[in-house]
Structure 1
């Protein structure tokens, strides 16, 4: 019974943060519509979320075990719940910035705690992997449900209304359920010990890794991938609304297909990798993404979906654009897996730190660039721009493949 209660607590907590983290695209659209914020200014919400995740992950990594996982998880949930209760009454863009900064800080704490607590309820590698995949699967369910939860509070007849902010009262209630689950779960505190020295060593190891060509090209590849994913995912609701002229609620519901495509793409890729190599799969995915962009975006010109009231009646192009996520999905996990497999196990923690930092930087950069181009030119121009990082990814992945085949880099990694 004890492992089940802990698992429920972890699942509830991750589900909540999946909704909150991936609501940024919807909130950007609504900030533009109801709070009179420009696209360029609205794009900074991604930075408030991602950069705080990266920074806080380093700052609190060694502190959380001393504080206790349960206390850390409760603190993260309560902080976000308090902001959810405050934001609707303020209804200002700066309050949303504060909310996403709090979400970023809290998720950094939550992810470290959740990944650590999983070890308390599993006793074999297979069970650990199974539970971790289950928790990540629940995260994707939270992503999907978040689009529909926000859509329920949006008045399609009055997009300028700030009534949609009341969604945060419901989210505060959902967080309260997660707080109850965590508070009643028998999550153990880790043994107290001095970890200051190990944290210093971990940071030095991380810096040393950046001198290796294999790691450098991986960082570039990961940065470019997240730049594309966040650029598309964050701005897809706004694209649906302002380019395809779809109602706001339908625009947001339709964007949930992107998350569904990502989930499906990763499941399918897991099966395909039994039969084909990772490099062939990556190249195929990148080429398919570029082809889809070139084929679909011309179809979005002169589309007028203003009379549409249901997600089932939208134009063909509106369905096809989110499907880019299907081909995008395998790239990031594959890059991470190949990179970590090329390093000695004692270097994995340092490498994970680099992945977090440069993923956050890539996500923020992608959102800001897409928002700027969207604002100054058009949505089509902004999404055509993804062809540039896709082309660069083709080059960087090819170099990455060559470096993984050179024994001297693997030997250097094992010697660190």
Structure 2
């Protein structure tokens, strides 16, 4: 298989970072349960992760090719390895914040590297879209792994047992480090004229209308996804009256539905134009919110002995992941494959920046409104970004439909 070493490396590192990056939902719940942190204070974990991603993405997006994609990925893995060890021994809310700072800084480098490398190792829009969907599916599998495996370490008799999950993560990170270190990267990015020139070219992209529309989409999508993903375990515990362990385990249904949705989208995108898949998905997501969330009202606590005892909304609402799933990889691939490969790293930096800011906005918004609006009402807010994204899809389609060169030149 062409570029198989690079592809395996991308799958592996995205799996590891997906597990760590999106454990914020679990840690928000753990911060409340173990460290006695209030919801608005626990919501600060998202900014610790996302603001560090945003800052690093802007810094590294323009000159990562000069550093080297492989070297950047190895440094990132080393940083999060020590972050996990620090979490195990630190066992405090401060240690949690430092962990997400490490994860955020490192993931910015990894995401820019992965998105840029996809452009170098694929030929044509269809192959680009297919690999993008596959990598994003692996990303969701990493999240599923975290939500399934991590709660297995919970022990009612040992309040610190859950920290052993970070020793497991440190071990996986070490494996990923050595596999990537010995993988061969035959990628030759275009030579630049220096860091100053790299930055000027990156900022010049903001003169293009397509880039602003793309940035708006990234912000809205991740705001919606992270707002739901981060607070779903808390929603399950506080609103649906499930135990902390069961609440985290049931939240994995969202990740499973996103992974399944991306796998299906990867198949459908070979036969159906992305705009139709995206527009229909946004409409169906809005319909699901309106039909399912009313079922979350006035849930009473009761003993859960079997799946039939679970509130219906606990396994219906996470199905919104099926409709969230196609949007991010399809739009990202459409825009990235419409521009020159030489600016993929810079464009990935911009995408990562606005995605991170959107993630912070979504988590803080839901965290601060969760109690005032009520857990059964707060997720209705997702209808607004879904509606805006629906409009954005048609704008991007118009901008990219003429020709690859015209799309970025306008």
TM-score scaled by length of structure 1: 0.84
- How far apart are the structure 2 equivalents of 1:367 and 1:115? 24
The residue aligned with 1:316 is 312
> 1:173 aligns to what?
171
Give the conservation status (yes or no) of the 8 Å contact 1:66–1:190: no
What is the Cα deviation at residue 347 of structure 1?
A: 4.6
* Structure-2 residue corresponding to 1:219: 215
Local SS of the residue matching 2:304: coil
Check conservation: 1:77, 1:179, Cα contact below 8 A.
yes
**Following the alignment from structure 1 to structure 2, what is the Cα–Cα distance between the partners of residues 351 and 17?**
20
Mapping 1:6-405, distance limit 5 Å: 10-61=10-61, 71-113=71-113, 135-155=135-155, 157=156, 161-183=159-181, 185-187=182-184, 195=192, 197=194, 199-274=195-270, 276-304=272-300, 306-308=302-304, 313-344=309-340, 346-404=342-400
- Larger displacement relative to structure 2 (370-379 or 174-183): 174-183
Moved more, 252-261 or 304-313: 304-313
In structure 2, C-alpha distance between the alignment counterparts of 1:119 and 1:339, rounded to whole Å: 11
Sort the Cα spacing of 1:164 and 1:364 in 2 relative to 1 into closer, same or farther, 3 A: same
Q: Contact 2:108–2:352 (CA<8 Å) still a contact in 1?
A: no
Contact kept? 1:250, 1:311, Cα under 8 Å: no
**Which region of structure 1 is more displaced relative to structure 2, 201-210 or 4-13?**
4-13
- Summarize the Cα distance change of 1:400–1:302 in structure 2 as closer, same or farther, 3 Å threshold: same
- Structure 1 unmatched ranges of 5 or more: none
Q: Distance in 1 between matches of 2:265 and 2:206?
A: 29
Counterpart secondary structure, 1:386: helix
> Secondary structure at 1:210's aligned position in 2?
helix
CA contact (8 A) 2:133 2:330 kept: no
Q: Distance in 2 between matches of 1:375 and 1:365?
A: 17
- Paired with 2:200 and 2:52, the residues of 1 have a C-alpha distance of 21
Contact persistence 2:132–2:333 (CA under 8 A): no
Answer yes or no: is the 8 Å Cα contact 1:214–1:409 preserved in 2: no
CA RMSD of aligned residues (A): 3.6
CA distance in 2, matches of 1:257, 1:213: 37
Gaps of 5+ in 2: none
